[in-house]
Amino acid sequence: MMPDELTERVIQGDRRALARVMTLLESDDPKGNATWRAIYPRTGSAYRVGLTGPPGTGKSTLVTQLARRYRRADQTVGIVAVDPTSTLTGGAVLGDRVRMGGLAEDPGVFVRSMASRGQRGGLANHTAAVVDVLDAAGMDCVFLETLGVGQEALDVVGETHTTLLVGAPGQGDEVQAMKAGLLELADILVVNQADRDGASALANAWRWVLKGNGGGGDVIWVPPVIETVATTGQGVDEVVKALKEHRFWLINGKGWDQRAERIAGGRVLGALVEHLLSKVQHDSTDSGLWEELVADVVARRLDPVAAARRLTKKVLDEH
Amino acid sequence: MMPDELTERVIQGDRRALARVMTLLESDDPKGNATWRAIYPRTGSAYRVGLTGPPGTGKSTLVTQLARRYRRADQTVGIVAVDPTSTLTGGAVLGDRVRMGGLAEDPGVFVRSMASRGQRGGLANHTAAVVDVLDAAGMDCVFLETLGVGQEALDVVGETHTTLLVGAPGQGDEVQAMKAGLLELADILVVNQADRDGASALANAWRWVLKGNGGGGDVIWVPPVIETVATTGQGVDEVVKALKEHRFWLINGKGWDQRAERIAGGRVLGALVEHLLSKVQHDSTDSGLWEELVADVVARRLDPVAAARRLTKKVLDEH
What's the confidence (pLDDT) of residue A183?
Answer: 73
CB nearest B150 (choices: A37, A84, A272): A84
Interface touch B305/A37, C-beta < 8 Å? yes
Reply yes or no on whether the pLDDT at A211 is more than 80.
Answer: no
What's the confidence (pLDDT) of residue B92?
Answer: 40
| Strands A188-191 vs A225-227: parallel, antiparallel or unpaired | parallel
Interface touch A268/B151, C-beta < 8 Å? no
The proportion of chain A whose per-residue pLDDT surpasses 70, expressed as a percent, equals 80
Interface touch B272/A154, C-beta < 8 Å? no
Interface touch B88/A153, C-beta < 8 Å? yes
Query: Is B172 within 8 Å of chain A by CB?
Result: yes
As a dihedral over the C-alpha atoms of residue B22, residue B165, residue B168, residue B233, rounded to 10 degrees, the angle is -70
What's the confidence (pLDDT) of residue A66?
Answer: 96
Reply yes or no on whether the pLDDT at A87 is more than 50.
Answer: no
**Nearest residue in chain B measured CA to CA from A123:** B151
Interface touch B120/A123, C-beta < 8 Å? no
What's the confidence (pLDDT) of residue B101?
Answer: 60
What's the confidence (pLDDT) of residue A232?
Answer: 95
Interface touch B87/A173, C-beta < 8 Å? no
Measured between CA atoms, how close is B262 to chain A, in angstroms?
A: 9
* Selection from A150, A119, A136, A128 nearest residue A50 by Cα: A128
A141 Cβ contact list (under 8 Å, min separation 6): A46, A47, A48, A49, A70, A75, A76, A77, A78
What's the confidence (pLDDT) of residue A276?
Answer: 80
Interface touch B85/A173, C-beta < 8 Å? yes
Reply yes or no on whether the pLDDT at A118 is more than 50.
Answer: no
What's the confidence (pLDDT) of residue A180?
Answer: 45
Q: Mind listing the pLDDT tens digit for each residue in B137-193?
A: 999 999 999 876 555 566 778 889 999 999 888 765 444 545 445 677 789 999 999
Distance CA A203, CA A190 (A): 8
What's the confidence (pLDDT) of residue B149?
Answer: 56
Q: Mind listing the pLDDT tens digit for each residue in A238-251?
A: 999 999 999 999 99
pLDDT band at A100 (very low <50, low <70, confident <90, very high): low
Measured between CA atoms, how close is B86 to chain A, in angstroms?
A: 6
3-state SS of B274-314 is HHHHHHHHHHHHHCCHHHHHHHHHHCCCCCHHHHHHHHHHH
Q: Mind listing the pLDDT tens digit for each residue in B274-314?
A: 888 787 777 777 778 888 999 999 999 999 999 999 988 87
Instruction: Give A154's contacts in chain B (Cβ within 8 Å).
Output: 87-88, 118
The proportion of chain B whose per-residue pLDDT surpasses 90, expressed as a percent, equals 47
- Type of residue numbered A54: P
Query: Is A309 within 8 Å of chain B by CB?
Result: yes
Mean of all residue pLDDT scores within chain A: 82
Query: Is A56 within 8 Å of chain B by CB?
Result: yes
Query: Is B153 within 8 Å of chain A by CB?
Result: yes
* Selection from B147, B186, B159 nearest residue B270 by Cα: B159
A308 Cβ contact list (under 8 Å, min separation 6): B268, B271, B272, B274, B275, B276
Identify whether the C-beta of residue B65 lies closer than 8 Å to the C-beta of residue B230. Answer: yes
Q: A147 forms bridges with which residues in the sheet?
A: A53
Mean of all residue pLDDT scores within chain B: 82
What's the confidence (pLDDT) of residue A239?
Answer: 98
* Selection from B135, B153, B136 nearest residue B47 by Cα: B135
CB nearest B181 (choices: A88, A274, A275): A88
Interface touch B307/A268, C-beta < 8 Å? yes
Interface touch A268/B85, C-beta < 8 Å? no
CB nearest A297 (choices: B42, B123, B267): B267
Reply yes or no on whether the pLDDT at A214 is more than 70.
Answer: no
Q: Mind listing the pLDDT tens digit for each residue in A273-311?
A: 888 878 777 777 777 888 899 999 999 999 999 999 998
Q: Mind listing the pLDDT tens digit for each residue in B8-40?
A: 999 999 999 999 999 999 888 999 999 999 999
Measured between CA atoms, how close is A165 to chain B, in angstroms?
A: 13
Identify whether the C-beta of residue A179 lies closer than 8 Å to the C-beta of residue A210. Answer: no
Coil/strand/helix, residue B237 = helix
- Most confident listed range (A114-128, A144-158, A203-217, B69-83): B69-83
Query: Is A267 within 8 Å of chain B by CB?
Result: yes
Q: State CA A35 to chain mean position distance.
A: 20
Domains of chain B: 1-42 (no CATH), 44-252 (3.40.50.300), 269-318 (no CATH)
- With a threshold of 0.80, does the pTM exceed it? no
Q: What is the ipTM of this complex?
A: 0.81
CA distances from A78 to A16, A105, A226, B231, B312 (A): 14, 14, 23, 45, 34
- Most confident listed range (A49-63, B104-118, B232-246, B303-317): B232-246
Distance CA A159, CA A163 (A): 9
Q: Choosing among B40, B94, B149, B279, which should be mutated to test the A contact, i.e. which has the most A CBs within 10 A?
A: B149
Instruction: Give B133's contacts in chain A (Cβ within 8 Å).
Output: none
- Type of residue numbered A24: L
Query: Is A274 within 8 Å of chain B by CB?
Result: yes
What's the confidence (pLDDT) of residue A88?
Answer: 36
User: Per-residue b/e over B220-239, b at no fewer than 16 CB within 10 Å?
Assistant: ebebbbbbbbbeeeebbeeb
User: In chain A, what is the straight-line distance between the N-terminal and C-terminal CA atoms, in Å?
Assistant: 36
Identify whether the C-beta of residue A36 lies closer than 8 Å to the C-beta of residue A25. Answer: yes
The proportion of chain A whose per-residue pLDDT surpasses 90, expressed as a percent, equals 47
**Nearest residue in chain B measured CA to CA from A83:** B150
Query: Is A123 within 8 Å of chain B by CB?
Result: yes
